[in-house]
Structures are given as C-alpha cells and as structure tokens.
Chain A
C-alpha cells in the first residue's frame, strides 16, 4: 500500500514531465527516460519489493500518454524492476556504480521488451536501427540522469524507512 501511495503521485508527475518537457530534449534520436530511471533507482534504493509496483504504475501512466500498445511499457518496466529486486542483495549490493550500470542495462532491457511488444502488435520494427539510433544515445542520457535520481531515491528511502540501529 505504501508503495502505491508513493508511486502514484511521484510517477504521475514524472509521466507528465516526460511528455511535456523531457521529450523535447533529444540527443541524436535518444532521450531521457524519467520513469524508467525512477523505477530502477527506487528498486535499488529501497532494498525491498516495491520496484515492480513502481514499474506497473509508471508503465500504466507512460502507456496512457503514448500511442503505442497499452501495456507495452508496463511489461518492460515491471520486468526490469523484477530482475533488480530478485538479484539485488543476492548477487550484488546496491551502490552508485551499480546504479549507473543498471541504468544502461535497464535501458537496453526495457527497449528490447518494448520493441518486441511493438513487433507483435504489427508495427514495423528494425531492431538494429532502433538500438543504434535510439537505445544507444538514450543509455548515455539515462546514465547521466541516474546519479541524481539514485541519490534522491536513497534520500527518500531513508526518510521513509530509516535504517534500524541497535541501542545499548
């Protein structure tokens, strides 16, 4: 429930900002993906299982403001968040270098899943072109966006659930 209370307002703002402001910023054909980076950052910073909930909520907003098939971005974001929460704490500990790497790999995974759904829905998809023209420059931008986003997510996570300390 807490995940939803936090995710709905924050991701609503993120979706609106992405559509109204961030999509004006283009590097080659790539762009920032505010929602993806927010979901990845929260999945890493929260150390719990709220990431996929954020992915689901953020994906629904993103799909609503897109002309693509409903659910395509939702599936991509939930998948990325699910992979993070299943592996984080087991194979690695979240820290900022991991977050930076996750921004690049997350972009790649999200775009691959999204393009797969697009292809299944009958749209023309030229994978090599799309990955070169869109995914590669987007990875660079998302890489840059991740550092402030991860620090913000860590701060927010600490405010909500401060780390427990043993007294005495």
Chain B
C-alpha cells in the first residue's frame, strides 16, 4: 500500500517553524515579567538616536531653506516665548478659577511645590501601528522612573511606562488605552479624556447639564493621582450632546503635534499619592 511520505525538506521546515513559534510564545510569557526588553533596548538607543538626528536634519533642510537659518532661529525663539507666555497665562487662569471655587483659606494653605523638569529627546516611535508610544533618550541613569508625567510647553504628552538605563518608553495620551482625568477650566466639570484608535482625543463623562462650548480649555484634574493637576490637555473642538443622554461627549484638540514631537519635559518630582491603602479601608461599624 502506498503511504504518503512528506519530503524531508518539509519536515525540516515544519520542525524549525514549530520551534520558533514555541520560542515566540516563550518570549511573550517571559516578556510579561520584564525580561529581554532592557537588554535589547540599551544597545539600540545610540543607533536610534543617530538615525533620528539624521532624519531631523534631512527633514529640516528639506522643508526650511538654509539661507533663512538665522530668521528661523529667531522665529523659534519667539515661538518658544509665546508658548511659554501662553502656558503661564493658562496656569494663571487655572489658579484664578481654583480661587473662585475653593475657599480663600484653603487656597492660601495649599502647598503647591514647583515642579522640576528633565529635558529628553524623542528618538523613536512605536514599531506597532496600533500603539502610540515614543522612545526617549533618558532613562534610570538620569533619574527617570515609571509613572513620571511627560509634558511640553503646549500641554500633556503622556506617562513613562518603562525605563531602562538610557531610555524610556512613554505612553501618549492619544493611545487607545490612555485615560486622563480632566476638568473643564471654566465650569470645573470633571470628565475623562481617552485616546482613540485614530489617534484623536475624546472627552467623556461630562454631564449634559454642563455648558461646554467649542474652545473650552481642558486641564488635568489630578484625580486618581496619575498626573499633577492643572496641566493643559487640549481644547474642546466639537460637542455631541443629546438631551436624553446622561453624559455628553466632545472631540478634543491638543495643541501638540504628536507626530512631530522632538523634545519633551519629564516631571521628575511628581509623586503620585499612595491611594492603594485607602481602597481597602473597612466600612465603619454601627
């Protein structure tokens, strides 16, 4: 009786493919425990930095005439000053709004320490098209640790999710898994800004009773302890409101061009409050 016998090359290929598939699954399992990433990332970062510098140089030379170099530098300086003043203005308005809401005594007593920043360059973007992370060229050697907020002078960028010796990964607020507790600067109503698959931002959980106009500024509320309060997230771009709904939604426009991020600031002295012990507090007895 004739029996089917697979050719030897097929056996070899199946064996190798099966072995590598099993290894891949092993990598996923070990990766959950934090193995591999740091060891592989460390040697890649210098290459990554070099490639990014080349890219930025080529990009800047292609899209900006070299004979306008001085003018461009001056323009950059002025833009930086405008952004700084705008940011200061926003912070002052935020402080003013807070003063209206909370009693004067509490406001005077509030301890509002200065934040300290660490500048970092964006040296890479996520390899996956489904995720929105950026790689920074600063890591634990520079004092960066997980959960540090990342900002620019134009507002909130994201959160450090992983730090190796010389690099860190930042989850952008535009990622679909990102959720930031926010408040509207005018009405003080609180909601959540979440990222979308398309890379846009959406504001959720604002009551339909709240008046929300286009252009309303949105800042972090500090609820949950993930971010300091008062950091600009964006402005309301358009509102979707139906009277029979409990909540209204809005599209949010950030001032940051997340596709052209080059330099960011890591807030290094922000310590998230330890809420975990409070979550297990027993209900008081009768």
Interface of A toward B, CB cutoff 8 Å: 12, 15-21, 23-24, 26, 29-31, 33, 35, 49, 52-53, 55-56, 59-75, 78-79, 81-82, 85-86, 89-90, 111, 114-115, 117-118, 121, 123-126, 129-130, 133-134, 138
A94 to B24, CA, bound (A): 26
- Looking across the interface, which residue of chain B has its beta carbon closest to that of A29? B198
A78 and B24 form a contact (CB under 8 A): yes
- Looking across the interface, which residue of chain A has its beta carbon closest to that of B21? A78
Given the known inter-chain contacts A24-B259, A65-B48, please indicate yes or no for A30 contacting B24, CB distance below 8 A. no
- Looking across the interface, which residue of chain A has its beta carbon closest to that of B51? A20
A65 and B126 form a contact (CB under 8 A): yes
**What 1/0 mask marks residues of chain B from 22 to 38 whose CB sits below 8 Å from any chain A CB?**
01111111111001110
- By a CB distance below 8 angstroms, the chain B residues around A20 are 48, 51-52, 54-55, 123-125
Q: Is the interface of A mostly helix, strand, loop or mixed?
A: helix
B20 and A19 form a contact (CB under 8 A): no
- By a CB distance below 8 angstroms, the chain B residues around A49 are 9, 12-13, 16-17
- Looking across the interface, which residue of chain A has its beta carbon closest to that of B49? A20
Which of B24, B27, B47, B48 lies at the interface centre, i.e. has the most chain A CB atoms within 10 A of its CB?
A: B24
Q: Is the interface of B mostly helix, strand, loop or mixed?
A: helix
B197 and A52 form a contact (CB under 8 A): no
Least distance between B12 CB and chain A CB atoms (Å): 6
A82 and B198 form a contact (CB under 8 A): no
**What 1/0 mask marks residues of chain B from 120 to 149 whose CB sits below 8 Å from any chain A CB?**
000111111111010100000000000000
A67 and B197 form a contact (CB under 8 A): no
- By a CB distance below 8 angstroms, the chain A residues around B124 are 16, 19-20, 23, 65
A63 and B27 form a contact (CB under 8 A): yes
B91 in contact (CB, < 8 A) = no
- By a CB distance below 8 angstroms, the chain A residues around B128 are 62, 66-68, 72-73, 114
A31 to B130, CA, bound (A): 10
- Could you give 12 example pairs across A and B, Cβ below 8 Å? A19-B135, A23-B124, A29-B197, A30-B129, A31-B129, A52-B16, A59-B27, A60-B40, A61-B40, A71-B30, A111-B130, A124-B177
Given the known inter-chain contacts A16-B47, A133-B197, please indicate yes or no for A67 contacting B24, CB distance below 8 A. no
